[in-house]
Amino acid sequence: MEKFLIKGGAPLEGEIPVSGAKNSALPALAACLLTDEAVTLRRVPRVRDIRTMERLLEHIGAAVERSDNGRVTVQAAALANPEAPYDLVKTMRASSLVLGPLVARTGRARVSLPGGCAIGARPINLHVAGLEQLGAVISQTHGYIEARAPQGLRGARVHFDRITVTGTEDILMAAVLASGETLIENAAREPEVVDLADLLTRMGARIEGAGSSLIRVQGVERLHGADHTIIPDRIEAGTFLIAGAITGGDLLVTGCRPDHLGALIQKLRQAGCELAEPDASTLRVRRPGHLKATDVTTEEYPGFATDLQAQYLALMTQGEGISFITETIFENRFMHASELLRMGANIRVEGRQAIVAGPSRLSGAGVIASDLRASASLVLAGLVARGETLVDRVYHIDRGYERIEEKLARVGADIRRVD
Active site residues per annotation: 117
User: 266 CB contacts (<8 Å, ≥6 apart)?
Assistant: none
Q: Which residues pair with 137 in a beta bridge?
A: 148
Query: 122 near 132, Cβ under 8 Å?
Result: no
> Is residue 10 a contact partner of residue 413, using CB atoms and an 8 Å limit?
yes
> Which burial class, exposed, middle or buried, applies to 209 when counting CB atoms under 10 A from its CB (0-12, 13-18, 19+)?
middle
Q: What gap in Å lies between CA 359 and CA 354, rounded to an integer?
A: 15
User: How many whole angstroms separate alpha carbon 11 and alpha carbon 13?
Assistant: 6
Q: Are 28 and 45 in contact (CB under 8 A)?
A: no
Beta-ladder partners of 84: 111
Query: Which residues have CB under 8 Å from 188's CB, separation 6+?
Result: 163, 164, 165, 167, 168, 169, 300, 301
DSSP classification of residue 387: S
Smallest CA-to-CA distance from 41 within 183, 195, 247 is with 195
CA-based nearest residue to 261, from 296, 297, 226, 304? 304
Q: How far apart are alpha carbons 32 and 61 in whole angstroms?
A: 12
